């Protein structure tokens, strides 16, 4: 059974890489037929990721969110479906090319961590842990969309400022559309992150009898929340838009990536993303 689930992940990774490659070819050639194929592959990739997560859940009889491999896979899956739901409401030209590349990189990163099944401790089988971890990673998925939008903004702005309307100008959305994308993803992600921290505190109380433990993951979680709170304040109170907002989205997501790499991964995912 474990070997079959491992093979399923290999298929998930291969499908994500294929999706990113087709999106890349479409980005270069701008062929409408390739765009349709890429969108279908993205949907299939999202379904395959859900199936892999469900397979691990069925085998473990617990939420598969307690080690770095599982956390990053869930992150990639959340980013995929955040993009698909976002695209259902908003049309952002060639956004999928950037998101699919990020998803493929996340799954490739997940492949570097052990996917071995280990018995889930009783303390990790409560209700609040999967709620907390799921909300936190879903928040990060929307922040990852803002990150991709920030990269697109800087590329488009560079061509506009140079007044040489070349490769990216004809392929990327307007600066206004990208700035609106940033605003939507930032607000949605911050709400989810706040809910994740609150539910994490409830899990800490249930598991350890305290609403907060000042461990490195808790401190990093709080720091990330404060960074995005500052970004929201600067955007909606001070009026930061455009380039500043794009740079903030990239900077804040870099902090998330560093937290995953240097804090969560080396010590496992017992208290995922802060709480």
User: What CA–CA distance (Å, rounded) separates 100 from 185?
Assistant: 17
pLDDT category of residue 274 using cuts at 50, 70 and 90? very low
Q: Could you read off the pLDDT of 47-64 as tens digits, one per residue?
A: 999 999 999 888 877 777
pLDDT category of residue 205 using cuts at 50, 70 and 90? confident
pLDDT category of residue 143 using cuts at 50, 70 and 90? very high
126 pLDDT exceeds 70?
no
Residue 51: what pLDDT? 95
pLDDT category of residue 152 using cuts at 50, 70 and 90? very high
What percentage of the chain has pLDDT greater than the value 70? 90
Residue 46: what pLDDT? 95
Q: Could you read off the pLDDT of 103-114 as tens digits, one per residue?
A: 999 999 999 988
Rounded (5°) CA angle 76-124-202: 90
Q: Could you read off the pLDDT of 244-261 as tens digits, one per residue?
A: 889 999 999 998 888 777
pTM score, whole prediction: 0.85
Which strand (E) or helix (H) includes residue 85? Answer: helix 68-89
Residue 139: what pLDDT? 93
User: What CA–CA distance (Å, rounded) separates 154 from 168?
Assistant: 10
Q: Pinpoint the alpha helices (H) of 30-67.
A: 32-60
User: What CA–CA distance (Å, rounded) separates 33 from 19?
Assistant: 14
The per-residue pLDDT of the chain, averaged, comes to: 85
Residue 124: what pLDDT? 64
Residue 15: what pLDDT? 96
Residue 166: what pLDDT? 67
Least Cα distance to 193 among 166, 149, 227, 163 occurs for 227
Q: What is the mean pLDDT of residues 73-100?
A: 88
Residue 49: what pLDDT? 96
Question: Is the CB of residue 20 less than 8 Å from the CB of residue 129?
Answer: no
Question: Is the CB of residue 173 less than 8 Å from the CB of residue 193?
Answer: no
What are the structural domain ranges in the chain? 2-274
| Inter-axis angle of helices 216-233 and 242-259, nearest 10 | 170
What percentage of the chain has pLDDT greater than the value 90? 41
pLDDT category of residue 272 using cuts at 50, 70 and 90? very low
266 pLDDT exceeds 60?
no
Give the Å distances, CA to CA, from 75 to 46, 79, 205.
Answer: 12, 6, 25
């Amino acid at each position: 059974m474990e070997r079959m689930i491992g093979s399923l992940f290999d298929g998930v990774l291969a499908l994500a890489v294929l999706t990113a490659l087709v999106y890349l070819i479409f980005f270069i050639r701008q062929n409408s037929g390739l765009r349709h194929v890429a969108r279908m592959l993205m949907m299939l990739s999202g379904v395959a990721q859900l199936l892999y997560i469900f397979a691990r859940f069925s085998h473990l009889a617990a939420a598969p969110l307690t080690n770095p491999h599982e956390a990053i896979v869930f992150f990639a899956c959340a980013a995929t479906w955040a993009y698909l739901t976002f695209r259902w409401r908003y049309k952002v030209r060639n956004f999928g090319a950037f998101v699919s590349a990020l998803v493929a990189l996340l799954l490739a990163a997940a492949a570097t961590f052990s996917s071995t099944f280990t018995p889930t401790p009783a303390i990790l089988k409560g209700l609040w842990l999967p709620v907390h971890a799921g909300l936190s990673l879903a928040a990060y998925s929307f922040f990852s969309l803002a990150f991709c939008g920030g990269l697109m903004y800087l590329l488009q702005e560079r061509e506009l400022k140079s007044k040489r309307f070349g490769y990216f100008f004809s392929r990327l959305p307007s600066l206004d559309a990208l700035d609106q994308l940033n605003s939507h993803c930032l607000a949605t992600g911050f709400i989810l992150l706040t809910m994740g921290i609150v539910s994490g505190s409830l899990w800490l109380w249930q598991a350890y009898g305290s609403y907060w433990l000042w461990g490195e993951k808790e401190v990093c979680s709080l720091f990330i929340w404060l960074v995005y709170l500052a970004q929201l304040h600067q955007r909606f109170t001070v009026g930061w838009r455009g380039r500043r907002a794009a740079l903030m989205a990239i900077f804040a997501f870099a902090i998330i990536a560093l937290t995953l790499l240097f804090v969560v991964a080396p010590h496992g995912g017992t208290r995922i993303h802060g709480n």
